[in-house]
């Protein structure tokens, strides 16, 4: 059981203390572990290895891991990886923090989107022990480059998805 950390009234100091926990070493480690072609057709093993790395990291932070399966046209199995706080939801609202882990066919996908995954994993590490009004869920999406992002956002799996950069 993880120790629960209530959000204190002194929010500025609380936020600053958590920003101070962001580790360049962690971010670079994730990036170096993830860079490589992760495409469902040209590099399915890379896609699986990327997913396994992300799943392992989420578990190491004490998150419960949920795998949402997507079946491909030829019965291939792809998964969205959802890291959730252990012991069920503490807050009424869910905040989804996500990035996709597939790449286009020939790209090592460092910027698109291993950099996003590195930030998501570092946020997961720092936020996993916290309990507050919002329940964060850390989601690594597969097949975003194949158009599944639209499916996720339009079919109502998640009520509202915002990208801070305005991009994908
Ligand atoms: Zn992308």
- Expressed in angstroms and rounded, the spacing between residue 82 Cα and the centre of ligand 1 is 18
Asked if the peptide bond before residue 67 counts as cis, ω within 30 degrees of 0, the response is no
- Expressed in angstroms and rounded, the spacing between residue 168 Cα and the centre of ligand 1 is 5
Round the average pLDDT of the chain to a whole number and report it.
86
Looking at residue 153, its pLDDT comes to 54
Mean pLDDT of 31-51: 96
Mean pLDDT of 145-152: 70
- Position 28 pLDDT exceeds 50: yes
Write the Ramachandran bin of 62: left for phi over 0, alpha for psi from -120 to 50, otherwise beta: left
Domain limits of the chain?
Answer: 22-154
Region of poorest pLDDT, from 9-23, 86-100, 103-117: 86-100
DSSP labels for 35-55? -S---TTT-HHHHHHHHHHHH
Q: Which fold has domain 22-154?
A: Aminopeptidase (3.40.630)
- Expressed in angstroms and rounded, the spacing between residue 113 Cα and the centre of ligand 1 is 6
- Expressed in angstroms and rounded, the spacing between residue 64 Cα and the centre of ligand 1 is 25
Integer Cα distance of 128 and 145 in angstroms: 28
Which residues pair with residue 99 across a beta bridge? 140
Looking at residue 93, its pLDDT comes to 85
């Amino acid at each position: 059981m993880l120790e629960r950390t209530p959000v204190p009234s002194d929010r500025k100091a609380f936020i600053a203390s958590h920003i101070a926990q962001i580790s360049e070493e962690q971010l670079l480690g994730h990036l170096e572990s993830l860079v490589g072609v992760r495409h469902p057709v040209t590099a399915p093993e890379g896609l699986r290895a990327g997913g396994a790395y992300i799943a392992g990291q989420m578990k190491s932070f004490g998150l419960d891991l949920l795998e949402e399966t997507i079946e491909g046209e030829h019965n291939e199995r792809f998964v969205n990886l959802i890291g959730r706080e252990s012991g069920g939801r503490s807050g009424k609202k869910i905040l989804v923090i996500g990035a996709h882990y597939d790449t286009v066919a020939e790209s090592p996908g460092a910027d698109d989107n291993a950099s996003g995954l590195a930030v998501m994993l570092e946020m997961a590490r720092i936020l996993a022990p916290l309990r507050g009004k919002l329940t964060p869920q850390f989601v690594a999406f597969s097949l975003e480059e194949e158009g599944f992002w639209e499916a996720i956002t339009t079919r109502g799996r998640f009520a509202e998805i915002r990208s801070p950069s305005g991009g994908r």
